[in-house]
């Protein structure tokens, strides 16, 4: 089966120095995309990902940003724009931190950092990158089973993943009329088993990206501004008040 090509496309993968982020960056590069390899720490590992992509004939650059910082998302967006210019086709929001701790052991600092990196950063990264994303662009969030089931002892971490799952539903709705897709990608299995075969990360990720634009119906957005949906708590207009007398 022929794989979809991403030649001429640009992609940013956060947390791409290791794990699923690294695998996503390599998969996108293998399909022809120019990839920005983001990392928070692990400069050597990120450099290794870039070197592997370039050795295979691809285009890649490493960019470092601390997404726990309040300005981390905006800083990363500026770095990305300085490299790819005014067009980003794919954002894979993979960066995240975890913390195994009971309710009693979790500190305010732990809780705040988990939500800063796992929820706040991707939200504002999408916000800051929207001006350079257009029709056919895709936003992919890598999620976790912890959002739906009790896995180990990590209630605060699980809460961040539940928040992301909810966030993506709203992104998918709000970005619908801009023809930008947003989805949650949950992948089960050992990373080394996802490198090749019919269920490889490459096939899963690219299959989702290819399918996204096909789910949109442009006509449904004509004549309607989905961003101006009625607020149930808003005050009625003057003419409505007059009619109600």
- Name the one residue in this structure whose structure tokens are 């285009």: 59
For the chain, give every domain's residue range.
10-244
Residue 216's pLDDT band (cuts 50, 70, 90): very low
Please report the pLDDT score of residue 207 as a whole number: 56
**Which residues, at least 6 apart from 159, have a Cβ–Cβ distance to it below 8 Å?**
114, 115
Please give the class, per CATH, of domain 10-244. Answer: alpha beta
Whether 157 is catalytic is yes
Q: How far apart are CA 120 and CA 209, in angstroms?
A: 24
- pTM value > 0.75: yes
Grouping H, G, I as helix, E, B as strand and the rest as coil, residue 12 is: strand
What's CA 130's distance to the chain center, in Å?
Answer: 12
Residue 185's pLDDT band (cuts 50, 70, 90): low
Higher pLDDT, 206 or 122: 122
Active-site choice (161, 173, 200, 237): 161
Q: How far apart are CA 25 and CA 38, in angstroms?
A: 10
Indicate the range of 32-36, 68-72, 201-205 predicted with least confidence. 201-205
pLDDT at residue 224 tops 50? no
Q: What is the mean pLDDT of residues 184-210?
A: 48
Whether 39 is catalytic is no
199 neighbors 189 (Cβ within 8 angstroms): yes
Active-site choice (55, 144, 239, 245): 144
In this predicted model, what pLDDT tens digit does every residue of 107-135 receive, in sequence order?
A: 999 999 999 999 999 999 999 999 999 87
Active-site choice (17, 24, 138, 157): 157
Q: Where are the alpha helices (DSSP H) in the chain?
A: 19-30, 43-55, 72-84, 108-115, 121-129, 155-174, 201-211, 238-244
Question: Which among 61, 57, 67 is positioned nearest to 49, based on CA atoms?
Answer: 61
Please report the pLDDT score of residue 214 as a whole number: 35
Active-site choice (143, 234, 239, 245): 143
């Amino acid at each position: 089966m022929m794989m979809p090509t991403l030649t001429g496309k640009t992609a940013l993968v956060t947390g791409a120095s290791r794990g699923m982020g690294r695998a996503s960056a390599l998969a996108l590069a293998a399909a022809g995309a120019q990839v920005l390899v983001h990392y928070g720490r692990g400069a050597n590992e990120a450099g290794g990902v870039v070197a592997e992509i370039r050795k295979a004939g691809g285009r890649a650059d490493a960019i470092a940003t601390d997404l726990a910082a309040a300005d981390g998302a905006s800083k990363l967006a500026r770095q990305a724009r300085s490299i790819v210019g005014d067009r980003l086709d794919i954002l894979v929001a993979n960066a995240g931190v975890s913390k195994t701790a009971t309710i009693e052991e979790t500190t305010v600092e732990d809780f705040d950092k988990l939500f800063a990196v796992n929820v706040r950063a991707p939200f504002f990264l999408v916000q800051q990158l929207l001006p350079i994303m257009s029709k056919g662009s895709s936003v992919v969030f890598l999620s976790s089973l912890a959002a739906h089931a009790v896995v180990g002892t990590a209630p605060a971490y699980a809460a961040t993943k539940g928040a992301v799952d909810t966030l993506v539903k709203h992104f998918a709705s709000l970005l619908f009329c801009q023809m930008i897709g947003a989805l949650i990608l949950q992948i089960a299995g050992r990373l080394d088993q996802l490198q090749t075969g019919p269920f490889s990360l490459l096939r899963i990720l690219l299959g989702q990206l290819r399918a996204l634009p096909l789910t949109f119906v442009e006509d449904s957005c004509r004549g309607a501004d989905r961003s101006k949906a009625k607020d149930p708590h808003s005050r009625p207009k003057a003419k409505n008040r007059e009619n109600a007398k």
